[in-house]
Chain A
Amino acid sequence: MAATVLPFEKPVVELVTRVRELRVLAETDPHFEPELKRLEDRAAKLARELFAELTPWQKVQLSRHPNRPYTLDYVEALFEEWQELHGDRRFADDAAIVCGMARFRGRSVVVVGHQKGRTTKEKAARNFGQANPEGNRKANRMYELADKFRLPILTFIDTPGAYPGIGAEERGQSEAIGACLAAMARAQVPIVATIIGEGGSGGALALGVANRVNVLEYGTYSVISPEGCASILWKDGSKGDEAALRMRMTSPDLLALKVVDNVIEEPVGGAHQDPAEAARLVGDAIAAALADLEGLSPEALADDRYRRFRSLGAFS
């Protein structure tokens, strides 16, 4: 994959790259080891400082970074015996959402995730991760499958939103999303959702009614895209930076609003700088969430989810 470097990433990417080169040197000559350690620490510190200054809009750019690990990258790193299951048994197979069975640290699980493409061709085929109703109905089918066989559901959220098109409306996008929310709400199994990139609106929520919701440090979750928000508020879609600031859509805000339960810290420079490490951290967070839900009866699992969402909102 061709590496894309966003302007604000440059200093951090240079540091991370230098450390990586030194690491290779240190492997051949142990003399470099202390020097490497020193530089590694400094790079990490500097990178943290630089990234601590990121604006919400820059974090939005990171959540959409073309080199960021996608659902299938996590699937490859975290699961054994992965077998993709296709189609909604109604109309089509929507490649914007991937579903399947797998083993996670020995345990059978059902996996559902949005999938973006890397190449131009794949991007088009996966519709930039924007599901049509078929994608959401495929997800719904998986929730029912998991519920029937009492298997945990692990979802990976990474979508700009469900697709707004003519066909999508004709085939009932609204109903498809609503039905997903309902199926997740009633499922008597553990559900763990992880926002790995963009959590865009109803399309994200169709995979998001979980007992525990993780978000990666540079993941976002919002009711509308910042560009969409800007075009409604100020009739100017180019004011996404302004809207991103107002919408409180980055991980610290999401945690403070209790919309997510846990923020997964990313490797230095973001998940795309070290996808293997990112996957390890995501895997541990999922395992911890599952352990937390261990021992709850099927009814208690649905009740736990009910209480989680029941408490969200602000009014007097």
Chain B
Amino acid sequence: MSGWPIRKQAGLDAHEKKSIGKGVFRKCNGCGETISAERMADNFEVCPLCGRHHKLASARWRDLLLDDGHLEEWSAELSPTDPLEFTDGRTYTERIATAQKSAKSKDAIEIGRAALEGTPIAYGAFLFAFMGGSMGSVVGEKITRLFEKATEERLPVVLLQASGGARMQEGILSLMQMAKTVSALERLRAARLPFFSVMLDPTTGGVAASFAFLGDVNIAEPDALIGFAGPRVIETTIRQKLPPGFQRSEFLLAHGMVDRIVSRLSMRREIAQLARQLSGLPALPAPAAGDAVVPPSVSVPP
């Protein structure tokens, strides 16, 4: 493995822009083949040749997972402040403004009510494009509200995580979000409502070490980077190179830390089935022949 590509990978917006015009091509991070950006986008950024999962924008996740791609958003107005008056050359306030503009969101998460194959759910998804999906006060508050509202309305929770961890610019208040969110999750558990923790690339740091591994079912995308400490921190600490595949989904599965690795393209059906099984709801009708689980343009690699 040649280095860890968390920060180097192109942003979601770049993918999206490139995919608008025809004749734009992208190189797959897995097989290295050149594939039309349109074809890749139609396939939800899963390489049709090798199955490699590239990062997917939150709007496309809605299209992929939610009935009619519809999310009735909660607390979209919450916006970060700068409690520490933090600056590292650029002020945090400036960083927020830039991120809000480019990600077209107030912060790094969206939450709300949705339906998954007809099953009502409370849904949350991190926006990795917004400051690496880092968890500050807004993300913490919205995840807390997600769990609280789900508990109130007796909904299963599906949360997609893609985050480098705590947001440094909010310092200790970011750390506190770990305790706050897990406290709310405990109330959901006490109410015997299922929590589906979906770990995308990457799920590390404060997000990994709070709610991510506390799912009733922990699901990982293939080849996602998932772990407590970042690979660079570990390499510096132990002064040696990390073995190939370290902290990847398959490594976590082998060590008993995730329940399933699920392709993005079959996630909708799988989570819907589990949600209905855990909630005592009747089975979904079997997909009819030709009735695709995922939109028809999608090709599932061998």
A interface residues, how many (CB within 8 angstroms):
52
Q: Which residues on the B side are within 8 Å of A172 (C-beta)?
A: 213, 255-257
A205 touches B179 (CB 8 A): yes
- The main secondary structure of chain A at its interface with chain B is helix
Residues of A within 8 A of B187 (CB): 306
**How far, in whole Å, are A305 and B237 apart by their CA atoms in the complex?**
35
Is A8 part of the contact surface with B, judged by Cβ < 8 Å? no
Chain B residues closer than 8 Å to A163, beta-carbon distance: 237
Measured CA separation A253–B79 after assembly (Å):
23
A197 within 8 A of B: no
Tell me the smallest distance from the CB of B184 to a CB of chain A, in Å. Answer: 8
Within 8 A of A (CB), among B231-253: 233-234, 237-238, 242-243, 246-247, 251
Bound-state Cα–Cα, A172 to B234, Å? 14
Whether B242 contacts A316 by the Cβ 8 Å rule is no
Residues of B within 8 Å of A181, CB to CB, are: 178-179, 182-183, 210
Q: Which of B150-158, B166-174, B263-271 contacts A (4 or more CB under 8 A)?
A: B166-174
Cβ proximity bits A160-186 to B, threshold 8 Å, 1 near / 0 not? 001111101111111101110110111
**Interface on chain B toward A: helix, strand, loop, or mixed SS?**
helix
How far does the Cβ of B176 sit from chain A's closest Cβ, in whole Å? 4
Smallest CB–CB gap between B244 and chain A, Å?
13
Determine the interface band of chain B, counting residues with CB < 8 A from chain A: 35 or more
> Any chain A CB within 8 A of the CB of B74?
no
- The reply to whether A313 and B88 form a contact with Cβ atoms under 8 Å apart is no
Interface residue B262 (Cβ < 8 Å from any Cβ of A): no
Asked if B11 CB lies within 8 Å of chain A CBs, one says no
Query: Which residues does chain A contribute within 8 Å of B88, judged by CB atoms?
Result: 233-234, 246
Q: Choose one: A168, A186, A232; the contact of B168 (CB below 8 Å).
A: A232
B14 at the interface (CB under 8 A from A): no
B residues less than 8 Å from A202 (CB atoms): 175, 178, 205-206, 209-210, 228
Interface pair A229/B255, CB less than 8 Å apart: no
Q: Is the CB of B208 within 8 A of A174?
A: yes
Cβ contact within 8 Å between A223 and B213? no
A193-224: CB near B (< 8 Å → 1, else 0) gives 00000000110110011000000000001111
Contact B183 A305 (CB under 8 A): yes
A315 to B109, CA, bound (A): 14
Query: B89 contacts which chain A residues (CB < 8 A)?
Result: 233-234
What residues of A have a CB within 8 angstroms of the CB of B171 in the complex? 222-223, 247-249
Tell me whether A259 is interfacial, beta carbon within 8 Å: yes
The interface residues of chain B lying within 8 Å CB-to-CB of A306 are 183, 187
CB distance from A173 to the nearest CB of B (A): 4
Known A-B contacts A169-B246, A175-B257, A310-B144; the reply to A164 vs B229 at CB < 8 A is: yes
Q: Is A1 an interface residue (CB 8 A)?
A: no
- Contact of A315 (CB < 8 Å), options: B138, B206, B227: B138
| B156-198 vs A, Cβ < 8 Å mask (1 yes, 0 no) | 0000000000101011111111111011111101100000000
- State whether B168 touches A233 (Cβ < 8 A): yes
Q: Does B43 contact A (CB under 8 A)?
A: no
Given contacts A172-B255, A202-B178, A314-B173, contact A185 B183 (CB under 8 A): yes
- Mark interface residues in A278-316 (1 if CB within 8 Å of B CB, else 0): 000000000000000000000000000110011011111
A56 to chain B, nearest CB (A): 12
Query: With an 8 A cutoff between CB atoms, is B35 at the interface?
Result: no
Q: List 5 A-B contacts (CB under 8 A).
A: A166-B246, A174-B228, A202-B205, A314-B137, A315-B81
Given known contacts A174-B226, A177-B228, A233-B168, what 15 new A-B pairs fall within 8 Å (CB)? A166-B243, A168-B228, A173-B228, A179-B213, A202-B175, A205-B175, A223-B170, A224-B168, A309-B180, A312-B180, A313-B138, A313-B180, A314-B82, A315-B79, A316-B81
4 closest A-B pairs by CB:
A164-B229, A313-B137, A314-B83, A175-B213
